[in-house]
Chain A
Amino acid sequence: MASTSRGDALALPRVTCPNHPDAILVEDYRAGDMICPECGLVVGDRVIDVGSEWRTFSNEKALKDPSRVGDAQNPLLNGGDLTTMISKGTGAASFDEFGNSKYQNRRTMSSSDRAMLNAFKEISTMADRINLPRNIIDRTNNLFKQVYEQKSLKGRANDAIASACLYIACRQEGVPRTFKEICAVSRISKKEIGRCFKLILKALETSVDLITTGDFMSRFCSNLGLPKQVQMAATFIARKAVELDLVPGRSPISVAAAAIYMASQASAEKKTQKEIGDIAGVADVTIRQSYRLIYPRAAELFPPDFKFDTPVDKLPQL
């Protein structure tokens, strides 16, 4: 008999086993029973299951959600939403004599959480544009919920907070996105996202790790269509350049872009500074500046097993 044991996330019912009052009851969702693990006594039965009605295989909504009772309850994010909405109505009987639909009032649903639900929708849309996985979206939703409940950033636009939460979630998951990438999918300016980012870190009293050049290599290189050797070479060049402190004070994104430029120019797949600048969100003069800093020691920066299409002394010098 497969039993799921819920943790303390859902409130335990006040029934307890008569023989073992402090045993935590195990819930069998299929039969709707609460079972004492010590003696096996079925204590509560006909417990209503709040999971979804049947399995739907798509993550997002299909055209027609076949669930008759609505979505699975998401207790972590909503405020325990037990309201009923009257939907638009099908068929001729739902319209009264003037052509207006009867039962117009379908607006009032958890007004306190309406803004939060809107924000979740916005987060989902933004994340979808850059193909972020479910775990980042969930983390973003959680962060937004914490910030929203704290109310310390209440005056700020919810979209700005949502964008900043998305940025923080990507950082926390170890796959940081640049501010410019988040800007590209959000209507908020980089400045405002940066401000909200700092405020949220202060409000939640967390911190994030510093970004490194290697975090962005795989994304930038695959967007440019560079082969794996070039990507590995660029990663090595950027890391070596930072270790040798050839680029003090430069943003890691600029250093990564310059390293990609050097690696691609030394290989068969040459990319121009403009192309790399477009992908990385860096101006091509910035790439030029960082490239000038790493060019003098180019020979040491390449990995030892790199196959040069263009030798080091023939690398472009700008």
Chain B
Amino acid sequence: MTVIQVFHYEQRMSVTLQCPGYPEDTLRSLADRLPCRETQLKSLLSLMGQPDQYSYPSFFIYGHRATGKSHVVLSVMKDLELPHASVDCVECVSSGLLFHQVLSAFFGPDAAALLPRCPSLSDFVRLYKQMSSNSPATQTRYIILDRAERMRDMDFSLLPALLRLQELVNDNVTVILLSEIVWEKFRPNTGCFEPLLFHFPDYSKVELVQILSWDHHPSYTPELYASYINILLGVFFSVCRDLRELRHLAALNFSKFCEPLEKGEAKESDIHKLWKNIEPHLQRAMQTVYLREVSSVQWEQQQMDEKEATTLRVLSAHAHIELPYYSKFLLIAAYLASFNPARTDRRFFLKSHGKIRKTNFLKKHEKTSNHLLGPKPFPLDRLMAIFYSVVDSRVAPTASIFSQISSLVTLQLLSQVGHDDQLDSPKYKCSVSLDFILAISRTVGFDVVKYLYDFL
């Protein structure tokens, strides 16, 4: 019950936001809509200053996924009706798209159409200046760049230029960068204008309860829903703090939670009974639907008809792959070539190899487990040599054998290393796990462990 008390207390408190230049009742409703982000909201507003004043040229807001960065910023923009351009950097496959979106948000699509075919930064600045001289900003214009970490992959001059865009275009414009990673990872080598850093901390458990309790079901009391959220967090909090995920899970499992109530087996106050009912169910959800082994629709269907629970197969259950006979051996040969040092081939694949002791045979660095080091590249010739010695019948080097290698590459069971020159003895790596290769070799009756240097 303590949580609920806290919840009530905070609601009553209802932070009084006052910022000159903005209508007070909008601010109040804004604060109500953004629970647990009052302090962030307050400092953001004070940083922005009054709408007609020049604001700081650039902010950098960072925090984990689903900590309300874009939500807070965008609701501020929308509710206070500030001119803004919101751009998701994932979408901007070229910087031209970014310019296009910004210009069309501020000056309409006609302005954006003036951009040349592959606009450069200076084109953008020129056009912006031209447009803003026609319609100078009465309020601060905001450019919000979501997932700003993608900007680092774009033109190297773009980020430093955007950070001081205000200077460049001589207009009341502020760039807000939103990112999940810290500013230190952005800073270019040549140095740049430092934006104001602003952190959104993770929600605490109490805050999560408070936020999740917001979307309670209309036909049940908020108290019941809050206790349900408490149970849910008890299971999931250790693995997942992503608010979006948690909301999704809460919505998915609530009907199951209410089942005893519907059937009349329990009353709302009977928390313990409800807990007993839902707890194993949630555990199962954590192993399946949370990992997306089972789609949410399937999960809901499963709740409807409990009997078919056993027939539902999860994604990773179909792990085995059917391959042609020789492809299996090629894969095994590739695995052996990847995880055995080339010097040991003689020991494994020659009939009269003599005894070679593991300890004094190899150099020091080869003594560490090859499985810890990961697969090593090997040339095609070595693969074929091992293949011919592992496969139990005589195989002609037909074209289809070689084409199987390339189809293994397309299936990403092998990966080609280095350049694409097929003539120059191509090199490959085997990219499957030990378990996988064990399963494959079992189907062809081949004891792969006997040939692995690590297990000698």
Q: Do A and B come from one complex?
A: no
Give the interface of B toward A (CB within 8 A). none
